[in-house]
Amino acid sequence: METHEHTAISAMPPATFSVTESAAARINHIKSTENNPGLRFRIQVNGGGCSGFQYEYILDSTSPTATDLVIAKDGAEVVIDDVSIGIIGGSTLDYVEDLAHAGFEIKNPNATASCGCGNSFSVAL
């Protein structure tokens, strides 16, 4: 079951973000190898990359802040700060394995362009 917690007080409705079963399973697998059940998967959007923004994935046990969006799915927790969710709201976190690569991917409907390697993106502001 997927739950959304958004504790920030705002006149705007909370931003949405979803996590696929594949991404949740991979996060849980990574957590199991770290032997730390309190780990959370954090997503941040930083300036940089050839297209303007890039995703950063962090696994840590820092508690979410009052303005973070927390998505829980199948025992995995994904935390996104309020600035980043403004850029990636409406997106989906997936974990993909194919012949070319394996890794987390964000399917971001707000992205207007991305680089060839898929590590950076731009949005219309």
pLDDT at 113: 67
In the chain the domains, ranked by start, together with CATH numbers, are: 2-123 (2.60.300.12)
pLDDT at 10: 38
Give the three-state DSSP class for 121.
Answer: strand
DSSP one-letter string for 78-113 = EEE-HHHHHHHTTEEEEEEE-SS-EEEEEE-TTEEE
Sequence-separated (6 or more) residues with CB below 8 Å from residue 25: 74, 76, 95
Q: Residue-wise pLDDT tens for the chain (125 aa)? A: 444 444 443 334 456 899 999 999 999 999 999 988 789 999 999 887 666 788 899 999 999 999 999 999 999 999 999 999 988 999 999 999 988 888 999 988 877 766 655 566 666 55
pLDDT at 108: 86
pLDDT at 64: 94
